[in-house]
Amino acid sequence: MSRYVNYRDFDWVLLIFVLIICALGVTEIYSATRQTRFDGIQIKQIYWIFAGIGIMFLMSLVSYQALLENVYWMYIVSIISLIAVLIFGRSYLGARRWIDFHFFHFQPSEWVKLILILTMAKYFSEYQDRELPFRELVKAGMIVVVPMLLVMKQPDLGTALTYVPIAVIALFLGGMKIRHGIIMVLIAGVLMPVIWHYGLKPYQKQRLETLVSPEADAKGAGYQVIQSLVAVGSGGLTGKGAFKGTQTQGQFLPVPHTDFIFAAWAEEHGFVGAVVLLLLYFLVLMRLIQNAQTAPDRAGTFIIMGVAGVLAFHILVNVGMVVGFMPVTGIPLPLMSYGGSSVLFMFLALGIVMNVRMRRFVN
Amino acid sequence: MFGREDKVPQIRITVIQYGILAIFLLLAFGLWRLQVMRSGYYQNLAQQNRIKEVPILAPRGKILDRYGRIIVDNYPSFSALLLRNQGPISNATLDAIAAGLHLDPNDLKQQVRRASAAPGYQPIYIKYDITPDELAFIEAHKNEYPELDTITVHRRLYPKDGFMANLIGYVGEISEDMLNRPRYDLYNPGDIVGQSGVEAEYNDLLMGQNGSRRVLVNSRGKEVGELSDQPAVPGKTLKLTVDIDLQIAAEEALGDKEGAIIAMDPHTGEILALVSRPTFDPNMFAVRISPKDWSAIINDPGKPLLDKAIQAQLPPGSVFKIIMSVAGWQSGIAQDLTVHCNGGADFYGRYFKCWRKGGHGTITLPRAIAQSCDVYFYTLAQKLGIERIAKYATEFGLGQKTGIDLPNEVSGVMPSEEWKIRNFKQRWFPGETISVGIGQGAVATTPVQLVRAIGAIAMDGKLVRPHVAFPSELPPQYKPSSYTQVTDVPIDPQGWDVITDAMAQVPNPGGTAAGSHLEGIDFAGKTGSAQIVSNAFKARAANKSEYKDNGWFVGFTPRRDPNIIVAVLYQGGEHGDLAARLAAQVIKAYVEKQRSLGVKTAGTLPPDLATPGESPISRSSPPFRPGTSGHVEMTGLWSTNSANDFRVARFDIPVSRRFHAALTAPGMGAFAKDNRPNFRSHPAPQPSPSTSHRYVPDILAVLPDPVRSPQP
């Protein structure tokens, strides 16, 4: 297999859109943490972004086909690490999500996402039937369901949910029958009350309850939701201006530099600013899908669509939470929210996307 | 190959694209709904979030005496509090703070623990009314313990030792019970309101209007900016008709005896002094009364919170004979009634004793009053009958509230046939009328009723409404015109002369209060000694001192159209003569003060003291100080033997002032002088044997030689 890699085929347009979103994120992190104990944290975010760009370029050098050849090993290591977290992990706020390696905290559930995307791509690059029979559907589904259950056991429902779009996108593109899709939705519908009673922790139930009626507990669990709605709503059409959001600057908005950064942005820049930001994300997603369509092979398409699916799901859940459509799940807004893991994951995923794109004229 | 494809079907990718578009449109709709459709609603909420209203407490109005001297004032009091918005407070810090503020460290920690559930922006009040050295501790450690802070409130400063306490009353946090009453509709929980006395009666006037400060806060309640101020409207000053000098005389006269003294100007109904014993220290309520102090006051058998001048209803004893005399005269019976007293007489088959065992012999009205002959008034009562007695007593305001502007006045009892049927469903027995004739039996009066009734008789039938506030300075809601209403009760002028002349004999040799004679003062009055239990019961009682008779005296000067009338209730005083001595002290103080003021008109007239009820003394410089001396310049014009020889000269007269007038109520002086409270523990009320408030009239010296030779 001859390798013809050229940075002329690197998706510079996509990178520019991504960096614009990152830059807006840095300004909002700065605005939201001024005069708090997190003051100056935007500098650290800039370091993470540069580190991410570096990783992205490194990632684009390694052939994704080489990765795919070893993906089953990686998958097995992932499962083992998730089990290891359950056994050896450090308990923090009642959940075991981290393994403490002294020099850094290792949270495997983030990286498992990427491996799941690759694993699904590998699976469907080998299974190429136009239609997906029920047996294959279950087999492919189990690839995602097993780690998902392990993550739920930590418990980290939010991260576990981010595995769902990987499975849904892959199964859908892999030829899932409409009939099967409907059956799965129905089963989920039936299981919902069962999960409500036996599967959810009390705090998880409370989060869902406050989504329905935040005023019921305005000082407690509903506080975050109400303050977020007030922040977004009071921003109005054009916003209160950079650094002038009363909800953000007055620290009424909870964690305005991570999970609720979109609310902070919407308060200070209004409906216009929020729609511009959504448009940027939409352009990134459309550019990703375009790359998926021009991918050299079936595996490449599945990889990029997987990344796009995860990104879209994050945006839906995070912005949906901020505008009151979704419960508080603790899922950050990719590229905007402060946090090293989140930034590195996104750029690593983009690195694989670039990797696919740069090999589109191979063969 | 059929059914196998290397490429992903385009249609499914397109479906995903449209799915993503749908998601973004949904999110954009969510934003539109919040930011465009309902932005006004949320902008309003955001404003409420960050704007906090901080109340500015209005200081209560001062209470002054009739000459503007301070009776009740406020002082700035500091309370220590812990702010919790800087995070949890370490135990070591709490220990240090407890040591600095003289608190028990374990109590403090427990208090902080208990408060940990409350929202973080609510501070914890750890000590009220801190001392200057505790305040200094907080100031000195501002950087070390940023969570330690103080706030200032205006607290009530009352005269010390319970001076005037029952008249003034005290303040406290409004109770839930009070909030349910329509009078307190406009009040809020936590308001400090008057609980008794004039503090309660004139609470609306004294309280003022709290202001507020609108500040910008962050989510932890920390102030980050200020918007606007609505200043507090301080309470209005209330000027009482009381004369501090006379009040001091009355307080000293009653001492630690149980009872009440009330002095009034019978022309106007202005109360000049009002004392009730035992009393309490209202300063105990000014900060926050401890449960121990409160239960001590509540369980005191003497009921210190009761204002006996308006709330003690007791048989008036022989003082009632004055009412009887008027009733007898107006009915045309007393003029010609002559009774022979053998020390007792039979009425309706029962023997009624006179207080003098040997009897008074043949007696008519004047001597019957002066010597308080019981048999005379038994006979008069029999002749009048209860209905006529009740009619005249009711005309003079007995058995009903006087309408004095103090809360919780009681009405007393004036019995009648109708009263007995209504309350006991029993017929009136004629024998009961005989007891009523000497103010015993069912008759019950309050000191203020007696001072008003006897005052009206001394004023030839002018019945006033007693009051402690100047009606001219009250807002219309108090209906000031009703304060000065005078009801005319007809009294025959001749009867008026006879009765008041007889009363003037009471504090004279041969009268029942001969020991209270005041030389050079036209002093008239009537004694009373009232049993509180029957003689038979008293004989059986183990502890006889508990059932001692009450002594009464109502006296005035001069005998007709008096300037002052004083009623004294001396509980357990056995005889009215002892009560008369207390009244005589007050009357003497009044007369001496009037005379000393008269002397001042020849010298430097203090304008504030010359016209009652005008400009307060605190605003101008004190017109005279106790113990100072000065000079008075005087011009004289006289003629010598030859008719045409007039001479004029100016004299410089040295005047030594030994007249002491109080500058403020006791305990307020130090405060008035340096405007700072004397931080004190609250001692139990005990009358101080002070002599510094005696009035010694100035005597103008004999004219010295002229400074300049006479000019022809």
Domain range summary for chain B, segments of one domain joined by +: 10-37, 53-239, 244-284+305-471+480-598
**pTM (predicted TM-score):** 0.62
Q: How far is residue A265 from each of residues A316, A333, B529, measured CA to CA in Å?
A: 16, 12, 89
Residues forming beta bridges with residue B276, ordered by sequence position: B260
The answer to whether B697 and B588 are in contact (CB under 8 A) is no
The answer to whether B597 and B284 are in contact (CB under 8 A) is no
The answer to whether B108 and B97 are in contact (CB under 8 A) is yes
Q: What integer is the mean pLDDT of A139-153?
A: 90
Does residue B679 surpass a pLDDT of 90? no
Q: pLDDT at position B637, please?
A: 66
Q: pLDDT at position B546, please?
A: 63
Which of these ranges, A32-41, A346-355, B453-462, has the smallest mean pLDDT? A32-41
Does residue A47 surpass a pLDDT of 60? yes
Which of these ranges, B94-108, B235-249, B376-390, B678-692, has the smallest mean pLDDT? B678-692
Name the DSSP class of B232: -
Confidence of residue A341 (pLDDT cuts 50, 70, 90): confident
* Residue of A131, A175, A320 with shortest CB distance to B27: A320
* Residue of B20, B45, B119 with shortest CB distance to A230: B45
The DSSP result for B67-123, as a single string, is TS-EEEEEEEEEEEEE--TT-PPPHHHHHHHHHHTT--HHHHHHHHHHHTTS-TTSP
What is the second-level CATH architecture of the domain B244-284+305-471+480-598? Answer: 3-Layer(aba) Sandwich (3.40)
* Best residue of A129, A246, A288 to probe chain B, by most B CBs closer than 10 Å: A246
Selected residue with higher pLDDT from A291 and B631: A291
Q: How far is residue A191 from each of residues A68, A139, A165, A198, A289, measured CA to CA in Å?
A: 34, 20, 18, 10, 32
Chain A residue with minimal CA distance to B219? A252
Most confident segment among A10-14, A244-248, B109-113: A10-14
Examine domains B53-239 and B244-284+305-471+480-598 and report if their fold is the same: no
C-alpha span between A303 and A117 (Å, rounded): 6
Q: What integer is the mean pLDDT of A101-113?
A: 71
C-alpha span between B651 and B472 (Å, rounded): 42
Q: What integer is the mean pLDDT of B292-309?
A: 87
* Residue of B17, B39, B50 with shortest CB distance to A233: B39
Nearest to A335 by CA among A36, A39, A33, A52: A52
Does residue A55 surpass a pLDDT of 90? yes
The answer to whether B223 and B198 are in contact (CB under 8 A) is no
Q: pLDDT at position B686, please?
A: 36
Which positions 9-68 of A are in contact with B (Cβ < 8 Å)?
none
Q: Is A156 exposed, middle or buried (0-12, 13-18, 19+ CB in 10 A)?
A: buried
Confidence of residue B209 (pLDDT cuts 50, 70, 90): confident
Q: What percent of chain B lies above the pLDDT cut of 90?
A: 40
Which of these ranges, B153-157, B210-214, B219-223, has the smallest mean pLDDT? B219-223
The answer to whether B172 and B285 are in contact (CB under 8 A) is yes
Does residue B675 surpass a pLDDT of 70? no
Q: pLDDT at position B148, please?
A: 82
Q: Which residues contact A332 (CB under 8 A, 6 or more apart)?
A: A258, A259, A261, A314, A318, A339, A342
The answer to whether B209 and B61 are in contact (CB under 8 A) is no
Query: How many Cβ atoms from other residues are within 10 Å of residue A358's Cβ?
Result: 23
Q: pLDDT at position B405, please?
A: 92
Q: Each residue of B359-394: pLDDT tens digit?
A: 899 999 999 999 999 999 999 999 999 999 999 999
Query: Residue B211: which H helix or E strand, with range?
Result: strand B211-217
Selected residue with higher pLDDT from B558 and A108: B558
Q: Do A237 and B49 touch (CB under 8 A)?
A: no
Which positions 116-175 of A are in contact with B (Cβ < 8 Å)?
128-131, 169, 172-173, 175
Contacts of B33 in chain A (CB under 8 A): 323
Chain B residue with minimal CA distance to A223? B219
Contacts of A271 in chain B (CB under 8 A): 31-32, 35-36
B217 touches chain A (CB under 8 A): yes
Position B151: which residue type?
A: I
Q: What integer is the mean pLDDT of B644-648?
A: 67
Q: Can you state the angle between helices A222-235 and A298-322, rounded to 10 degrees?
A: 90
Q: pLDDT at position B676, please?
A: 37
Which of these ranges, B383-392, B486-495, B536-545, has the smallest mean pLDDT? B536-545
Position B652: which residue type?
A: D
Does residue B544 surpass a pLDDT of 80? no
Which positions 284-313 of A are in contact with B (Cβ < 8 Å)?
285-286, 289, 292-293, 297-298, 301-302, 305, 308-309, 312
Domain B53-239 homologous superfamily, CATH: Penicillin-binding protein 2a (Domain 2) (3.90.1310.10)
Q: What does the block give as tokens for A20?
A: 């614009």
Q: pLDDT at position B215, please?
A: 76
Q: What integer is the mean pLDDT of B191-219?
A: 84
Buried b (16+ CB within 10 A) or exposed e, B654-668: ebebebbbbbbbbbb
Query: Locate tokens 């290891």: which residue?
Result: A84
C-alpha span between B568 and B451 (Å, rounded): 9
Q: Do B31 and A252 touch (CB under 8 A)?
A: no
Q: What does the block give as tokens for B623?
A: 């017109």
Q: pLDDT at position B370, please?
A: 92
Q: What integer is the mean pLDDT of B259-273?
A: 94
Buried b (16+ CB within 10 A) or exposed e, B156-187: bbbbbbbbbbbbbbbbbebeeebeeeeebeeb
Contacts A–B by Cβ distance under 8 A: 143
Q: What does the block give as tokens for B400?
A: 């009903």
Residues forming beta bridges with residue B488, ordered by sequence position: B462
Q: Each residue of B332-345: pLDDT tens digit?
A: 999 999 999 998 99
Which of these ranges, B285-289, B443-447, B586-590, has the smallest mean pLDDT? B285-289
Contacts of A286 in chain B (CB under 8 A): 17, 20
Cis bond before residue B622 (omega within 30° of 0): no
The answer to whether A272 and A307 are in contact (CB under 8 A) is no
Q: Is B329 exposed, middle or buried (0-12, 13-18, 19+ CB in 10 A)?
A: buried
Does residue B651 surpass a pLDDT of 70? no
Q: Each residue of A160-193: pLDDT tens digit?
A: 888 999 999 999 998 888 888 888 888 888 887 7
